Amino acid sequence: MMSRLIFSVLLIGLTLTAAPVALAVDETVIPATTADGQQVPVLDSVQVIQTDLPVTVSAASTLAPAQQVNVVFETAGLVTDVYVIAGQFVRLGEALAKVDPSESESALRNAQLNLAEARAAYAALIAPPRDIDVRVAQAAVNVAQAAINNAINGRAGGAPTTQDIEIARLQVELAKNALWQAQLNRGLTDPGNTGMWPSYPDSNTIAGLNSSDSEIDIAQSSYQATVNRDPNQGGIAAANAQLIRAQNELDQLVQGPNAERRLRAELDVQAAELAVQQAEAQLAKTVLVAPFDGVVSSVGLKVGQFPLREQSVVLIDTRAYQTDLPVDETDIARVVLGQPVQLTVDAITGLTLSGSVTQIAAVPTIAANSQRVSYAVRVVLDATESPIRPGMRTTGNIIVDQLTEVVIIPNRFLLTDAITQENFVLVPIDDGFQRVVVTIGVRTRESTQIISGLQAGQTVVLLPDEIVNPPAAGGFEIGF
């Protein structure tokens, strides 16, 4: 009875001493087999590497052509032709549509005629004079000089000549002689008169004496008027002006135009040439042409209608694309012009495109539904032959920094303890998998920098959640 009691006590003691052994098991190790003897499946594994890690800021948007232009007519007119349809590819300078050019063509013809006249006038101005032209101009000078001479010499009612004065004097002498002859005749009419008694002439003799006396008065008045006659000043001035004009024309003909006349003629030609250029430019505006190689997006013109301002041909350049990424206000400070960008396209799996930041908005955009503040960052894509299209969804990763030679792992291998919030990974060991706490640094959409806890060359694994986080345990969370 005693021995049986001792054996029971020993058995209880052994049982009690065995309990601490179970509590001492390393809880950071996950056995390689399950409780029912099944091998723990490894879902994925990766080797820890040391490499460069780009630090990125990500945002999503849509692709748009780098150029999209509403090509409109710059002149009024009735649409006579539309040469393109939506979806058609056109080259730079190719005609898209046309309006009636009648008025512009007429304006061009008038400008060309004016130019021809200006050039002809300039050519005539600087051409050497013809002999016939010189002779005609010299004859005009001679005629003008003769007109002055005539005005000065009285042939045109001006100052009296010597001959005019002499004739007037002789007329006075003739009148006096006539009076003397009349007086002499009076004495002959009474031959018997010896002078003792006064003689009384008859009426005819008295009339003759009176007439001769009046003739003397008239002749003397005429003489004084002739002597005192002034030159014809108006005739001289007119003749002198004619002479100046004729002489100037002769001088210009012989010596050529002066600098002022030549410059004025040259300016007339230049003005006419400019008018022709403007008319040609106006005529060119009657044809709507493509400003670059691209695809016609839409056509808003109809033949027989006057195009409104909003009616146009929309042209897009599909050789280059851009996108405006809405970068969050917490990240915008790290974005600068020129930073490289990597882009993926939702519609084309596995496609990665490259580009760069070309513009950063100064004014934010605030979402109406969430009040999220973002800034539009324009990214111009590098040339690509990929079959991308306007409107495709894209995600851009702006590379704001570049870490060199850092230890990284893919994000899916980073786990977080739900209770302690510690980050850890699972490293395979001989009898299972070791839970290793790590310190992390920069995290991107794909990778995480490991500052401590792992070294390059080690392997980390991914196990089923029910193994890593059994229901009875506190649980772990997968890292992001």
Task: For residue 376, give the CATH number of its domain.
Answer: 2.40.30.170
The pLDDT of 358-378, averaged and rounded, is 91
- Element (DSSP H or E) covering residue 326: strand 313-328
386 Cβ partners below 8 Å, 6+ apart? 345, 348, 351, 353
**57-105 residue pLDDT tens:** 999 999 999 888 999 998 888 999 999 999 899 999 999 999 999 999 9
- Counting the structural domains of the chain, the total is 3
SS3 at position 70: strand
Angle at 401 between CA 60 and CA 426, to 5 degrees: 85
Domain shared by 326 and 459, yes or no = yes
Residue 343 covered by a domain:
yes
pLDDT the model gives residue 342: 94
Residue 387 covered by a domain:
yes
Residue 403 covered by a domain:
yes
Residue 418 covered by a domain:
yes
pLDDT the model gives residue 210: 59
pLDDT the model gives residue 76: 87
Range of the domain at 265: 106-129+257-283
Contact 409, 448 (CB under 8 A): yes
Task: For residue 302, give the CATH number of its domain.
Answer: 2.40.50.100
Contact 467, 435 (CB under 8 A): no
The pair of three-digit structure tokens given for residue 219, joined into one six-digit string: 């002749």
**6-36 residue pLDDT tens:** 333 333 343 333 333 333 345 688 898 888 8
Residue 147 CB neighbours (<10 A): 19
Domain shared by 382 and 465, yes or no = yes
pLDDT exceeds cutoff 80 at 372: yes
**251-310 residue pLDDT tens:** 777 777 788 888 999 999 999 999 999 999 999 999 999 999 999 989 999 999 888 777
Domain shared by 275 and 408, yes or no = no
Domain shared by 325 and 381, yes or no = yes
Domain shared by 434 and 447, yes or no = yes
pLDDT the model gives residue 209: 58
> What letter would DSSP give residue 128?
P
The 3-class secondary structure across 72-124, one letter per residue, is: CCCCCCCEEEECCCCCCEECCCCEEEEECCHHHHHHHHHHHHHHHHHHHHHHH
The pLDDT of 312-336, averaged and rounded, is 92
pLDDT the model gives residue 231: 57
Q: Is 375 exposed, middle or buried, given 0-12, 13-18 or 19+ CB atoms closer than 10 A?
A: buried
Domain shared by 343 and 436, yes or no = yes
**34-64 residue pLDDT tens:** 888 889 999 999 999 999 988 889 999 999 9
| In the block, residue with structure tokens 């430019």 | 281
